[in-house]
Every structure is written in structure tokens, then in C-alpha cells.
């Protein structure tokens, strides 16, 4: 898999088979998060891995936008320290690393951000100073792993020199 291939083709996957995940694969996904860059290399993120069905069901109950997590083989809850203004950006970098590492191993994944944050903190036993920034579900896809992306055209989102000026590489 090339990086360009992953960028062009990877899609979010919210439906998974029951096939178990090899421990090495799970470790590789978490290690990809650990290796992500973070502002000033603070590495303030923490990752809680959940793979028991009862825990995944509890995540689903606490979520407003991620009920599909109960279907996942495992979930990673990403906690970050809001003392750093860029803490959510750091979470995004780590999450992208995990999702690409998973995709390379033919695992599907999806992120969600809607949940009862206090409920999540209490469920996980997380210290108050951490924000619960996102949850990512992983599993063998029960839907196409790749396909056509629905994205705005480049000239709608990229400008040259000043906002609104057409981007022109030539």
C-alpha cells in the first residue's frame, strides 16, 4: 500500500464482521498512534483500548453518533490534555496514523465524537484533566473497504495567495 493509495481510496467503515483481530495487528495500530507527531512533542494523548462486548455496548449507550461501535472488534478512546490549545489537532494526527495502519492491514475503522463526556470519563476511570476527544472503532469490514470518495472539487477548497483567489499550479 502506498500513502497516495491510502489517501485516495480509504473510506470510513462502520460495519464489521465477527472475525477476531490478531494481537500483533492491534499492537501495530496502537503503536502507530504512539509514533504520531504532537505539538512540542508533548505526547499528552492517552489511548484506552476496549474489546469486551459489554464495554463496546456501554460505549454505544454513551454515544449519540456512534451506536455502530457495538459491532467493532475493538475501540480506542483517545484522551487528550486540554491544557494544550492544539490538543484536538494532536488527537487527529494520532487517529489518522491508527486508521492508516489499520487500513494497510485490511481493517476498517471509523471515528466518532458524539458522547456523554462525563459518562465516558467515569466509565473509563479517566482523570478529570483529560478531555475525551474521540473514539475510533476497528474491525474486519462488513462493507467495501474502499470506494469512491464524495469530496468537494479542489478549486472550491484551495486558493492561491488570497482567500477566494483561484488555485493555479501552472
Ligand X SMILES: Cc1cc2nc3c(=O)[nH]c(=O)nc-3n(C[C@H](O)[C@H](O)[C@H](O)COP(=O)(O)O)c2cc1C
Q: Which residues ranging from 36 to 55 are in contact with ligand X (CB under 6 A)?
A: none
- Whether the Cβ atoms of residue 25 and residue 74 lie closer than 8 Å to each other: no
Residue 138 binding ligand X, by CB under 6 A: no
Residue 110 binding ligand X, by CB under 6 A: yes
**Closest distance between ligand X and the C-beta of residue 140, in Å?**
17
- Whether the Cβ atoms of residue 63 and residue 14 lie closer than 8 Å to each other: no
**Closest distance between ligand X and the C-beta of residue 11, in Å?**
3
Residue 111 binding ligand X, by CB under 6 A: yes
Determine phi and psi for 120, rounding to 5 degrees: -65, -45
- Of residues 14 and 44, the one with the C-beta less far from ligand X: 14
Tell me the pairing of strands 46-50 and 74-80. Answer: antiparallel
In angstroms, rounded to a whole number, what is the distance separating the alpha carbons of residues 128 and 119?
12
Residue 66 binding ligand X, by CB under 6 A: yes
**Closest distance between ligand X and the C-beta of residue 87, in Å?**
13
In angstroms, rounded to a whole number, what is the distance separating the alpha carbons of residues 47 and 91?
10
Q: Which parts of this chain interact with ligand X (CB under 6 A)?
A: 11-12, 14, 65-66, 110-114, 149-150
Amino acid at each position: 500500500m502506498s500513502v497516495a493509495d491510502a489517501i485516495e481510496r480509504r473510506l470510513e467503515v462502520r460495519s464489521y464482521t465477527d472475525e477476531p483481530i490478531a494481537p500483533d495487528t492491534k499492537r501495530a495500530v496502537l503503536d502507530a498512534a504512539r509514533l504520531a507527531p504532537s505539538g512540542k512533542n508533548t505526547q499528552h494523548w492517552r489511548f484506552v483500548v476496549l474489546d469486551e462486548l459489554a464495554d463496546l455496548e456501554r460505549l454505544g449507550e454513551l454515544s449519540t453518533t456512534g451506536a455502530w461501535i457495538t459491532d467493532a472488534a475493538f475501540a480506542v478512546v483517545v484522551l487528550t490534555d486540554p491544557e494544550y490549545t492544539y490538543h484536538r489537532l494532536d488527537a487527529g494526527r494520532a487517529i489518522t496514523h491508527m486508521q492508516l495502519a489499520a487500513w494497510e492491514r485490511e481493517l476498517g475503522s471509523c471515528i466518532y465524537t458524539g458522547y456523554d463526556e462525563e459518562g465516558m470519563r467515569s466509565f473509563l476511570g479517566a482523570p478529570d484533566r483529560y478531555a475525551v476527544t474521540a473514539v475510533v472503532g476497528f474491525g474486519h469490514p462488513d462493507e467495501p473497504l474502499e470506494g469512491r470518495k464524495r469530496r468537494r472539487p479542489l478549486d472550491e477548497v484551495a486558493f492561491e495567495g488570497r482567500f477566494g483567489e483561484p488555485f493555479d499550479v501552472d
